[in-house]
Structure 1
Amino acid sequence: MTNEPSPPAAPPAALPAAPPAALPAVLPGTARALEHLLARAQAEHRLPSVVAGLVRGGRLVWTGAAGTAVTDPAGEHLPDAAGTQYRIGSITKTFVAAGVMRCVEDGLSALDEPLRAHLPELVGAGAGALTVGQVLGQASGLQAETDGPWWERTPGGDWRELLPLLGPSALRHRAGSRFHYSNVGYAVLGELLGRLRGARWDEVVAEQFLRPLGMARTTTRPQQPAARGFAVHPWADVLLPEPEHDAGAMAPAGQLWSTVADLARWAGVVADGAGVLQPATVEAMRRPQAVDDARGAAWSTGYGLGLQLWNAAGARAAGHSGSMPGFVAMLRVDVGTGDAVLALTNSTTGFGELPVRLLAALAEAEPAAPRPWRPAPVDADALELVGPWYWGPAPLVLRARGDGSLELSGLAGRARSSRFVRDGAAGTWRGLDEYYAGELLRVVRSADGAVSHLDLASFRLTRTPYDPGADVPGGVDPTGWRP
């Protein structure tokens, strides 16, 4: 985890126009099914109010609302499904993480850099030796919560008050050894982000993300219309108002308020960067840093660099849940299709599996159309490399991708695979993922300039199995293949 490569520094792409607040694109039958799921969840989970939305193709294609106890128990009107603010809790962490990753893009920090490099007051403290990447990936071992009063229900102090909690006793596990969710860690990252940019963390988030994306309804404190948080009595149909406050130094862990319409724009960042993060950065954020394997089963939940990850039989999703007293929120993006679900409620105990069911209902009723195939230019030296290759007797194939990269995969069952991008010198490519991540693939040419073989991390890939003319290490038996 400490050796996670930093994304290359480059300015973000030009910003796209903000999508409209709503685009009623689902079919009437689909809308009725979604509204039924929402109404059933509101009734079964006894939610004061709940709003939800679905995103497809970067557009908010459906919104819905159920329940009328938005600001008081006797409420009589449904909330504005797209525009009512709810507290989003730990979804805040995705904004802080994106800000830190922008700092990495800009060369202001690195994922394998210790926190004390930018927060010198942590020198000698337990947290100081932790790397930026470890804290982003919830693998730092830092304690989950503060030592003082329940921070989610009491006003927070400043950084100076949090600092004494970051000594050796704050380390609950060896860094990098396991997944351990830490709200305290994101308080530290908020301070780091502010220190790197010379402004408060929320000012940085507003400047780099909220304003460019048109997220005017995402704020650190509620702005009307906004829901009030309630606790629902477990054995009676009565409500108890929950407190709302400024969490101070802990605010980066869960302070923000937002709306379905605004979070629809943020879902685009989780999907592809939306012009405010490089696609390579988003891909790095979605790469598992730690998985929750406490029960010993195949991993189903994990954490990337600031994003929660879900794995359902190989189908990946990324985003974040959020929970603060009086509120539960979810932002979840299907990595394969880009479809996203947003759900917000003003109940401490939340809405269960509602977001997953909404996303599944959309996929079942209106499957996402595959991206159309289009021809793409391929450089002559890359085109020269495509086609079958052999690692010893094992058949592989190298394909050119539309983004300029090469993809190596097996032709007969499981094989060591990777994507490769150019790496400076002509004829040199660097692995992006899987077994050969970070390793070099070099094109070796014969005296006449033709490609002789590929050198991949010392392995020889040849055009025929164990090609005797390709300098195979250990040589090739001169009698050749025989029965």
Structure 2
Amino acid sequence: MIDEPYEDAPLLPATRRALLHRLATGQSEGRAPSMVGAVMRDGRLVWSAGRGDFPGGTAATAGADGGVRAEDVQYRIGSITKTFVAVLVMRLRDEGLLSLEDRLGAHLDTPEGGDATVAQLLSHTAGLAAEARGPWWERTDGSLRPELADLFGDRAQLHTPGRLHHYSNPGFALLGALVERLRGESWYAVLRREVLEPLGMDRTTLAPVAPHAGGWAVHPWADVLLAEPAADTGRMAPAGQLWSTAADLCRFAAFLLNGDDRVLAARTLAEMRAPEGGPKDQGWTTGYGLGLQVMQRNGRTLVGHMGTMPGFVAMLLASPQDGLAGVALANRTSCFEAGAVAADLLTTVADLEPRIPAPWRPLTEVKEEHLELTGPWYWGAEPFALRLQEGGALELTPLGTGGRAARFRPEADGTWTGLDGYYAGETLTAVRSTAGDRVTHLDLGTFVFTREPYEAAAPVPGGVDAAGWRTAGAGDEGRGAPEETAPVR
């Protein structure tokens, strides 16, 4: 069997024109001096273009007329920096140097925020103030806030930790300090060595490196520009200091979707992408994971982050189900059109060139005790199907009009742990008979699943009515129903 090399195929001409049209519309209607867009598909940058004025005076799409390639021009990426810091923190967790449930104060001597857990800081549920003390930190030098004690104003703790989502820039400054405390060097030096270099992101830096765009404000009622400052924010840098390019952010997006064992495993990235402390059931539209924004758009779950700094707006969005990411960078203050452009670039490719499924292939290894679990199960009278996946993972799917789906990973003790939805973190156990010759039922967080609806021989909580299933109109005198009963035989 020969597979089509889909991942190496270029985008179709109609798709490329639709992408260029969306970028051009975004730059024009957003009144941005320049805007760059890029698309990553299955780990590779497959399209990029730029509109507007670029370093050296080039005003064209990427690489035209011998000018600089737009995908390699640096822009300030603002709060996308937070996702990089979150990756560093998750590396510390995976190495066993901290737990997400640890209080920050257990690792870092800080006058504020010490009662919050690491997970609460990563998910902006620590209840800390949104902004740093003093004048607008994004436009002022970090020397105004040299120490951790200088980060917060008079009201640092606005809400009880864990109570609600409240975005906090100083909270990520504390996480940067945590990385420094446990690694013994600056957070950016750690980022360079542990993340940027392994991923080949040599154009992502703490300060701008040519070619880079200049930051501008655009007059609201006239097409004129005002230069914005590019301050070194010092202690606040982990909240929004980095500069990067569309090409580098596409590399980062591929990592966020697929993982890289040199940096973080795919399993940890999946954990970061799950919404924390917010709605997770059907109907939710926005949330926040561990250093990642999560949103629902046109039936897709997108993950990534937006970033803003004076003179710049950046957006990175990725779709795990499509293997796609869209990136948009603009050098104008408050050009929020860039966020819509990134999302539309992604969905344009997803809609016009939907992902071709990988070829079906049988599992490489199957244990008989796992295969025994597959097939129909019933929670009460509700039907479900349990399917076996690669590596002994299980997938529970409702077969009726309701019910909760979930995926489960196998554990060394023979149980499984829920990965998503209502059963996230819950334990699934296959309970065997006393003789050990068969599985009698499944226990999922105390819910009993049986091979038959309300199977009489199974340990169904509350027991099963000895009269069994009945026909219409039959009842039980003790329950106020007619005397005659008609059990199903």
Global fold match (TM > 0.5)? yes
The residue correspondences of 1:425-440 to structure 2 (distance < 5 A) are: 425-426=413-414, 428-440=415-427
2:387 equivalent to 1:399? yes
Q: Equivalents in 1 of 2:59, 2:317: separation in Å?
A: 30
Q: Equivalents in 2 of 1:269, 1:303: separation in Å?
A: 18
- Aligned residue in 2 for 1:108: 97
2:200 equivalent to 1:214? yes
Letter in 2 for 1:169: R
Q: Equivalents in 2 of 1:364, 1:166: separation in Å?
A: 46
- Aligned residue in 2 for 1:133: 119
**What CA deviation, in whole Å up to 9, does each residue of 1:9-35 have, x standing for no partner?**
xxxxxxxxxxxxx98811222212211
**What CA deviation, in whole Å up to 9, does each residue of 1:329-370 have, x standing for no partner?**
110001221200011111112251222222222223222222
Segment drifting more, 208-217 vs 428-437: 428-437
Identity of matched residues, %:
50
C-alpha deviation, 1:441, in angstroms: 2.0
Find 2:294's aligned residue among 289, 309, 330: 309
Closer, same or farther in 2 for the Cα pair 1:209/1:387, shift >3 Å? same
- Aligned residue in 1 for 2:319: 334
C-alpha deviation, 1:131, in angstroms: 0.5
The SS at the match of 1:266 is helix
- Aligned residue in 1 for 2:266: 279
Q: Equivalents in 2 of 1:219, 1:244: separation in Å?
A: 14
The residue correspondences of 1:244-263 to structure 2 (distance < 5 A) are: 244-263=230-249
The SS at the match of 2:180 is helix
C-alpha deviation, 1:317, in angstroms: 0.2
- Aligned residue in 2 for 1:355: 342
- Aligned residue in 1 for 2:70: 81
- Aligned residue in 1 for 2:87: 98
Number of residue pairs matched?
Answer: 453
- Aligned residue in 2 for 1:457: 445
Find 1:65's aligned residue among 43, 50, 67: 50
The SS at the match of 1:212 is coil
The SS at the match of 1:128 is coil
Are 2:215 and 2:331, in contact at CA under 8 Å, matched by a contact in 1?
yes
**What CA deviation, in whole Å up to 9, does each residue of 1:127-150 have, x standing for no partner?**
110000001001111111112111
2:238 equivalent to 1:238? no
The SS at the match of 2:71 is coil
**What CA deviation, in whole Å up to 9, does each residue of 1:63-119 have, x standing for no partner?**
001101x359x7656652211111111111110000001111111111111000111
- Aligned residue in 2 for 1:380: 368
Closer, same or farther in 2 for the Cα pair 1:347/1:340, shift >3 Å? same
The SS at the match of 2:93 is helix
Are 1:23 and 1:62, in contact at CA under 8 Å, matched by a contact in 2?
no
The SS at the match of 1:89 is coil
C-alpha deviation, 1:472, in angstroms: 2.8
Find 1:170's aligned residue among 151, 156, 180: 156
Q: Equivalents in 2 of 1:453, 1:100: separation in Å?
A: 40
Letter in 2 for 1:232: V
Letter in 2 for 1:35: L
2:239 equivalent to 1:267? no
Closer, same or farther in 2 for the Cα pair 1:433/1:44, shift >3 Å? closer
The SS at the match of 1:382 is helix
Q: Equivalents in 1 of 2:299, 2:70: separation in Å?
A: 32
- Aligned residue in 2 for 1:344: 329
Q: What TM-score does the superposition give when structure 2 sets the normalisation length? A: 0.87
Closer, same or farther in 2 for the Cα pair 1:24/1:39, shift >3 Å? farther
Q: Equivalents in 1 of 2:368, 2:18: separation in Å?
A: 51
- Aligned residue in 2 for 1:441: 428
The SS at the match of 1:481 is coil
- Aligned residue in 2 for 1:26: 11
C-alpha deviation, 1:453, in angstroms: 1.7
Are 2:134 and 2:153, in contact at CA under 8 Å, matched by a contact in 1?
no
Q: Equivalents in 1 of 2:153, 2:336: separation in Å?
A: 37
Closer, same or farther in 2 for the Cα pair 1:228/1:406, shift >3 Å? same
C-alpha deviation, 1:310, in angstroms: 1.0
2:210 equivalent to 1:224? yes
2:144 equivalent to 1:155? no
The SS at the match of 1:30 is helix
Are 2:131 and 2:169, in contact at CA under 8 Å, matched by a contact in 1?
yes
C-alpha deviation, 1:224, in angstroms: 0.7
Closer, same or farther in 2 for the Cα pair 1:132/1:167, shift >3 Å? farther
Q: Equivalents in 2 of 1:210, 1:131: separation in Å?
A: 27
Are 2:112 and 2:149, in contact at CA under 8 Å, matched by a contact in 1?
no
